[in-house]
Structure 1
Amino acid sequence: MQVAHYQQFVRHTNQFITKPRDEALSIAMYGLVGEIGQLVAAVKKKVLGEGGETNWDQPNDEIREELGDAFWYLFAAAQLANDGPFDVLTGDIENLRAEIGGTDERARTIAAALDPQARTDFMKEAVRFPESPDFLFDDYQKLAFKTARTDGKVLIEVCQAVLWQLGAELLRPSLPAIEIDLNQNVADRPTNVVLGEIAWHLSAMASLYHLSLDNVIAFNCTKVSFRSERGTPTVLHDEARDPKEQFPRCFDVSFVRVGPGQSRMYFGGRPLGDDLTDNFYDDDGYRFHDVIHLAFIAHLGWSPVIRGLMKRKRKSGNNRVDEVEDGGRAKVVEELVIKAIHSEGDRQARASGRCIVGQPTRLFPRRSLINFRLLKTLRMYVEGLEVWHNTYWEWEDAIFAGCEMFHQLCQEMQGTVHVDLANRRLTFEPIVSPNVQGITVGLGMGAAVLAPSDCEVKKMLSTQERAATAQSRLAYVLAAKRALLGALGLEAASEAYWSQIEVRLDDMNTLYVKARDKALDRAWALRAVDYKAAFIESAGSVLCTATAIADVADVADISK
């Protein structure tokens, strides 16, 4: 990886570079010190936990990732501190050459600690470093390591301790004057010198873990790019299939409450799978996790679970696709992926104090919380499956949108999710109209004048209902609300029930309903999951006939 290219990459991906200089520099400095802490923690876990003495120098993904993150902030800090690109690596080599080639006591002490041949080689090569403006990180890494005064596990411990010290030195200028005066145990040196020494110790740690610095930086570019460089979405995995074996390109799924802590998905007027419960001691809303499957469809074009429920498995042609991509193992993997997402989001929420008793918690409220490590883990789970080819940013979109829909469902306890594969998008409405072809379990009638008074409208309709209804349709919604209350066996004239049913009516007179409190209890008692309405205008009024519809299977259960 060319250092010059990485300079450009960091500048291009620096999202805080447009902030005032001092603020941006502060973000970069604190970011660098934070990444040093993360790196030290990763190394300590390796040394103390994963094999300890026997394989302390074997790298893992966490160490590689933290090294790359530290270098990104290092370069960002150098650019901001110098008001433009600054070659911190070349600067460090120049400082090392001056230090090692000096004649003072410090230079003599360093010379005594260095291997004589390594010192000679370094001084000879450092004079002409870099030999080309296109020099690589590995060029710096190999040359800088010749100046290491210790090696092995001792040097790892030295690097960790010195990096902490350098971090403190880096932040020292931000202290109040009195604190700088009173705390003289931390040196005052130019920022570029400190950044160069940080680069040396990060590079040395990479060498000790047998990591090419070029590869570390290349991996960091891949990680950072997934958010900043969004390309064309991956071609839908069933694009070449018969339409009967494809996901519908636009469709709605309704999540309907059918009992306390119990929901059901409807697609095309039919139940989509079994009734949903949390399967947990606490009401954590996990019964709504199927909406994340829908997010996978919208943003990844993938969900073996929903494909099976929709009976759109790819059985024609190569039956290995049906077995591998749409079979039981792939379904288990998908459920594992969603559980991992939910668990990580919940862990973060608890750690940051965002969990409030009695309220649903928004998982991953910011995209930046969907860390790269989680994305890598999920891609590891799906390795060998078609969805492995989807990009990191598509995974991020799927997780973010899915968790947003999940949160809204947990808040509303019901809703309609619109899946748009053509535009890779999900949208949510808190009301439902599953279009069930079932059995009538309630019938009611209601009327309203075609020009209702403002007083009547404000009394019967909520702010949300009024905002969603055109002026010319207000009478229809009023009549529908009265008819619906009658269909549920409730007194339409009772103001106590008006706020317990929320009604929306589209241009085709499709009813979208949300019930609560006694109205919801009554709907559950009737097993009503959907509602139909018919209208007729007469003599300046509109008359509505509403029916409450139960699923045939539910009524059959009652009769047994």
Structure 2
Amino acid sequence: MDDFIPLSVQEYSKDALATDVQRDAESLNFPLLGLFGEVGSLLSEVKKKQRDPIAYRAYAAAVTEELGDVLWYFNLVASRGGISLAEVVTNLASGDGDWKPASDKTITFEALQPAVLKTLKTPSKKFEETLIELAAKVGLLMADQSNRDLLRDRSRLGPLLVAFLETLIRAANEAGVTLEAAAVKNRTKTTDRWPIQKEVSGFFDGDAPPEEQLPRKLQIEIFEREVNGKLYVFQTCNGLNIGDRLTDNAMTEDDYRFHDVFHYAYVAVLGWSPVTRSLFRLKRKSASKIDEAQDGARAALIEEGITTWIFGQAIEMEFFKDLKAGDLPFDLLKQIHQFVNGYEPEACPAWLWEEAILQGYAAFRYLRENRRGTITIDAANRRLEIEPLP
């Protein structure tokens, strides 16, 4: 740990603001609503712990994450109000004195909590009271925004932000959480979803023999055909039939029989798909552990489970029609990460999962409309394309 570099308030603030997808907005309404909601989520985590202290083992991580989310929105409120996070920190000990400009010195989160707390304790009654006080501080901000324009009254906004941050630091101390840990976790999460610069790692099977690698460039023809009065989806590749003919396997038709395009999207964008490996006989037999754990039946079931679960969400959202990068619900992408925990695609950032999903559903919508098409896997460019099939 000797090479650990403490995170500064200034660095966190800059990185957090870079992940604000509404960077051109000026209103305080959005960040205040977000701050209000995240404080509510923080209270909810404590409530869960109180209600079920034995079963709720995710408390420590959840509180740290929620504190980080609170900090993100708090930073945005300050920025939209023309006040830097460093400026708020500089005025923490000012009391009712004159407002001071931000310090030129680097301010670390560690300096806000000199007594480093390494273990998360069961929330005390005092912690509960502090969280209620924190909620009240948000209420004051919301009330002032409702009654007047805080953007035009910087002298009013500044002290309210200082009072909130003082209470937030106290809450973190009483929870046994460092704001630095919360900030680091939040920065990792937000840049995973909204990266400052998109970078993609190499393929998971890059070291495998060529005959065990997922296709980097491949065309697959997908079409619907009636057999004995029933519609099936067929697939061919290089003139050969692949896989089984598919139906929806549902009481109500929903065109899920075209769902293999989602697996092909995972291949093209993520470089992952145990289902496709099985279909094309590309399991990594030369590495027995990888073959068993990453390419086996359990991994394939997880992929099918994710695909089915996403499909259920997509039905409610018109199969993600008109959605672009950055529009998929963050909660959906976080849930996917939980699904694949322990498997190769856990290394794929949320934004890349979004690319795979949106490209897969663009192809799916095309097939729903045209009932046939030619899929092109272009893994080198992380693209899945579809064009007409004569």
Query: For residue 172 of structure 2, what is the aligned residue in structure 1?
Result: 206
Distance 1:46 1:5, change over 3 A: closer
Conserved? CA contact 2:40–2:135, under 8 Å: no
Aligned partner of 1:6 among 5, 8, 12: 12
Distance 1:47 1:70, change over 3 A: closer
Query: For residue 254 of structure 1, what is the aligned residue in structure 2?
Result: 221
Conserved? CA contact 2:18–2:196, under 8 Å: no
Q: Is 2:380 aligned against 1:422?
A: yes
Q: Mean Cα displacement is larger for which, 331-340 or 361-370?
A: 361-370
- Partners of 1:137 and 1:261 in 2: CA distance: 62
- Amino acid aligned to 1:312: L
TM-score scaled by length of structure 2: 0.81
Query: For residue 334 of structure 1, what is the aligned residue in structure 2?
Result: 303
- The 5 A counterparts of 1:133-212 are 133-141=105-113, 151-174=126-149, 190-212=156-178
Query: For residue 283 of structure 2, what is the aligned residue in structure 1?
Result: 313
Distance 1:37 1:413, change over 3 A: farther
Distance 1:385 1:10, change over 3 A: closer
- The 5 A counterparts of 1:99-498 are 133-141=105-113, 151-174=126-149, 190-226=156-192, 227-259=194-226, 262-315=232-285, 317-346=286-315, 349=317, 360-362=318-320, 365-429=323-387, 431-432=388-389
- Partners of 2:314 and 2:258 in 1: CA distance: 15
* CA-to-aligned-CA distance 1:128-177 (integer Å, 9 cap, x gap): x98x922222422469xxxxxx82322222322332232232443249xx
Distance 1:265 1:156, change over 3 A: same
Judging by fraction of residues, say which structure has more strand: 1
- Partners of 2:245 and 2:105 in 1: CA distance: 64
- Amino acid aligned to 1:9: D
Conserved? CA contact 1:325–1:386, under 8 Å: yes
- Partners of 1:37 and 1:403 in 2: CA distance: 34
Conserved? CA contact 1:291–1:405, under 8 Å: yes
Conserved? CA contact 2:9–2:85, under 8 Å: no
- Partners of 1:305 and 1:168 in 2: CA distance: 53
How many Å apart are 1:331 and its aligned residue?
0.4
Q: Which has the higher contact order (CA 8 A, sep 6+)?
A: 2
How many Å apart are 1:89 and its aligned residue?
1.8
Distance 1:261 1:93, change over 3 A: farther
How many Å apart are 1:398 and its aligned residue?
1.5
Conserved? CA contact 1:59–1:209, under 8 Å: no
Query: For residue 489 of structure 1, what is the aligned residue in structure 2?
Result: none
How many Å apart are 1:250 and its aligned residue?
0.9
- After superposition, the CA RMSD in angstroms is 3.3
How many Å apart are 1:252 and its aligned residue?
1.4
- The 5 A counterparts of 1:47-126 are 47-52=46-51, 54=53, 59=59, 61-82=61-82, 87-95=87-95, 98=97
- Partners of 1:170 and 1:92 in 2: CA distance: 22
Give the % identical residues: 27
Distance 1:142 1:34, change over 3 A: farther
- Amino acid aligned to 2:211: K
* CA-to-aligned-CA distance 1:35-73 (integer Å, 9 cap, x gap): 233224423533444542747997355544343233223
Distance 1:4 1:172, change over 3 A: same
Conserved? CA contact 2:13–2:75, under 8 Å: yes
Conserved? CA contact 1:31–1:73, under 8 Å: no
Q: Is 2:36 aligned against 1:30?
A: no
Conserved? CA contact 1:307–1:326, under 8 Å: yes
Conserved? CA contact 1:342–1:363, under 8 Å: no
- Partners of 2:8 and 2:86 in 1: CA distance: 14
Distance 1:54 1:239, change over 3 A: closer
TM-score scaled by length of structure 1: 0.58
Query: For residue 179 of structure 1, what is the aligned residue in structure 2?
Result: none
Distance 1:308 1:203, change over 3 A: same
The structure having more radius of gyration, on CA atoms, is 1
- Partners of 1:54 and 1:247 in 2: CA distance: 45
How many Å apart are 1:327 and its aligned residue?
1.0
- Amino acid aligned to 2:310: I
Unaligned runs of 5+ in 2: 1-6, 116-124
- Partners of 1:204 and 1:289 in 2: CA distance: 50
- Partners of 1:62 and 1:343 in 2: CA distance: 26
SS of equivalent to 1:87: helix
- Partners of 1:262 and 1:161 in 2: CA distance: 59
SS of equivalent to 1:151: helix
Conserved? CA contact 1:419–1:426, under 8 Å: yes
